[in-house]
Structure 1
Amino acid sequence: MKAIISTKYGPPEGLEFTDVAKPLPKDDEVLIKVHAASINAYDWHLLTADFFLVRLMGGGFFRPKNPRPGEDVAGTIESVGKNVQQFKPGDEVFGDLCECGSGGFAEYVCAKEGALVLKPANINFEQAAATPMAAVTALHGLRDSGCIQAGQKVLINGASGGVGTFAVQIAKSFGAEVTAVCSTRNVEQARKLGADHVIDYTKEDFTRSGQTYDLIFAANGNGPVSAYKRALTPEGIFVVVGGSLSQIMRAMILGKFMSRKTGKKITALTSRPKQRDLAFIKGLLENRNVFPVIDRRYPLNKIGEALRYLGEGHARGKIVITMGAA
């Protein structure tokens, strides 16, 4: 089968599109015929080690510890291990493989059943593959770290990327009044996603507008934490999900101190996939409360181009990888 192999840190040109042996599932695994995958900022960081913490937190110090990248997948189960109880051959599934070996940038991949849920019938494989990591990250940031409640004023900074597009929709599904922050070219998209208000950051700095929010969800963005704190209500919460390493570290290091001092909570999200949370997202998809925004599609052998596009930082929603070659 064809697969993508990563043997060194660096630009996408170092990736290999090659033939490897088709995997065999262990007793607690399923074998998936992959129909589509998608890429995330997580994949970019693992490829380039642009955040040095990648090397220190198990990615491998000198080279990638796991040479088989790819987390988000959607496909059909071809076979199951003898201990698998939730799925059977022929089931259409999707999931995030980052806790069970990755390897989704391939025609076939093995995964533990706990990483997967059944694909909703009302979406296709590409839409399903675009969903797991980004949607669950948005859910964790809004619900678990942000303690979102109906009627709250919630601001999503970075509302046009993979996580941000899901965050706008998920916040609306919780009954919040949502303000989306994005660039000029993404204003209309944010409105279509359901944002009640849209701020074009090229024209307005929301941290200086005088408006305050119960929850600020930063899927992207820079600037001092103090600026975001200024835009919070007295008991507001600022959740850093993405952005520059310096912003994430400031939130992690200074967050607890600033929270105790002011009463406003500042935190950096750490998210791990859970099957029950992906099942929750599945329900939102089935009820049409959310839908994945797909910017571009690339065949598997063009994944270097896809990652370069992601690395430029201008993707609108998700980038999907289809199997086969162009």
Structure 2
Amino acid sequence: MRVVTARKYGSPDVFRVENWEIPSPQKNEIRIQNHNGAVNSADWRLRKPDPKLVRLFFGILKPKQPVLGISFAGVVDAVGKNVTKFQIGDKVFGSTGMQMGGYAEYICINESSVMTTLPKEISFPQGAALPFGSLTAIDFLQKSKIQKDQTIIIYGASSSVGTATIQLAKHMGAVVTAVCSAGNFSLVKSIGADFVMDYDSFHSESHNKTYDVVFECVGKSSIPSNLKHLTKGGVLVLVGASFKDMFQAAWISLSRGIQIKFGPIKETLENLNYITELAKKGKFKVVIDKSFPLESMSMAHQYVEAGHKKGNVVIDIIN
């Protein structure tokens, strides 16, 4: 099978296409013929690595797992002897989590992983694009305890996490303001944003409104600039926080009693099933910007890392 490896940390040029033996599933695993993957912000941060603290968990000198990729969508083509949830021929999608391995034609994964059956209403590309942004968004929204009629401003609203946050926050009854480039106003309005503004307007002196939740998706605005727009007792979410941001946020939370949420998310099957049901009913749209073939992983990473994508970038593995 074809896999794309990153055998060292660095720029997108580190990727190589290799041929590996097709793996056999263990007794509690299924093997998936992977049709589509996705490139997310977590992928390029692990590859780079950013923050450098990543090395402590994924390998000091080089990645312990050379095959990156968290999201997948494909067809079960083999099952371990103890598997009961899935059978050969099932269409499935989900997240490999920190096991990674999604940049490959075949994946072996425990049947209890965060994955579920792919409904007929959702395509393989949509299935691969759905987990990362939406599972990140819903976990942080749950941690924020957002309530009906509360206000939320989403910085980087046209990103993968941003487009998911708009829709999920609206579904929870919040009033949503989206911050993005003017060229993406129509996109964020089409998926539910009540108000829009560009980045210059967000940072302008005339912008003095406060919000119950300030949701920073892309790690490009400072903590003080976000706190300026946070209602007293509100919650600041830092999805793309750097190590420096995390340290500063922890100190502010401790010293000033301000709620700031950051750090790893908890991916759950319950949340994946919840979002899948919304997508089935047409209440959640998976936004896909571009797709790249598996062999063009370097180009896909360059595009995603540049920070201008709209929604998700998909990898075509089986055409």
Say whether residues 1:311 and 2:305 are aligned partners. Answer: yes
Query: Equivalent residue of 1:282, what SS?
Result: helix
Tell me which amino acid in the other structure corresponds to 1:13: D
CA offsets, 1:45-98, max 9 Å, x none? 111113111102x11000001111111000011111112121111111101102
Q: Percent identity?
A: 35
CA RMSD of aligned residues (A): 1.7
Match of 2:78 in 1: 79
Distance (whole Å) between structure 1 residues aligned to residue 236 and residue 167 of structure 2: 18
**CA separation in 1, counterparts of 2:46 and 2:40?**
10
Q: What residue number does 1:104 align with?
A: 102
SS in 2 for 1:217: strand
Q: Which residue identity does 1:155 align to in structure 2? A: I
CA contact (8 A) 1:223 1:247 kept: no
- Amino acid across the alignment from 1:154: I
Q: Cα offset for 1:269?
A: 3.9
1:213 and 1:232 in contact (8 A); partners too: yes
Cross-structure match for 1:127? 126
TM-score, normalised by the number of residues in structure 2: 0.95
Query: What's 1:299 paired with?
Result: 293
What is aligned with 1:178? 176
Moved more, 200-209 or 42-51: 200-209
Aligned residues of 1:235 and 1:265 also touching (Cα < 8 A): yes
Deviation at 1:208, TM superposition (A): 5.4
Cα distance in 1 between the residues matched to 2:220 and 2:39: 22
SS at match of 2:213: strand
1:134-145 pair list within 5 angstroms:
134-143=133-142, 145=143
Look up the equivalent residue of 2:294 and give its one-letter code: L
- Residue 199 of structure 1 contacts residue 206 of structure 1 at CA under 8 Å; is this kept in 2? no
Shift of 1:289: 1.7
Is contact 2:36–2:318 with CA below 8 Å preserved after alignment?
no
Q: How much does 1:231 deviate?
A: 1.2
**Deviation readout 1:223-244 (Å, 9 max, x if unpaired):** 4423322212221111111154
Name the SS for the 2:97 alignment partner: coil
Secondary structure of 2:103 counterpart: coil
CA 1:249/1:186 → structure 2, altered by over 3 Å: closer, same or farther?
farther
Higher mean alpha-carbon deviation, 246-255 vs 45-54, is at 246-255
Unaligned runs of 5+ in 1: none
Measured after TM superposition, the shift of residue 180 of structure 1 is 0.5
Deviation (angstroms), 1:196: 0.3
Residues in 2 aligned to 1:10 and 1:289: alpha-carbon distance in whole angstroms: 39
Aligned residues of 1:158 and 1:219 also touching (Cα < 8 A): yes
Deviation per CA, 1:241-284: give whole Å up to 9, x if none. 1154433432234323222xxxx422214203221221111112
Please tell me whether the aligned partners of residues 241 and 263 of structure 2 are also in contact (alpha carbons under 8 angstroms): no
TM norm structure 1 = 0.93
CA drift at 1:37: 0.4
C-alpha separation in 2, matches of 1:253 and 1:25: 45
Once the two structures are TM-superposed, the CA of residue 106 in structure 1 deviates from its matched residue by 0.9
Letter of the 1:153 counterpart: T
Which runs of 4 or more aligned residues in structure 1 lie more than 6 Å from their structure 2 counterparts after TM superposition?
A: none
- Give the corresponding residue for 2:30: 30
Q: How many residues align?
A: 318
2:273 partner letter? A
Unmatched tracts of structure 2, length 5 or more: none
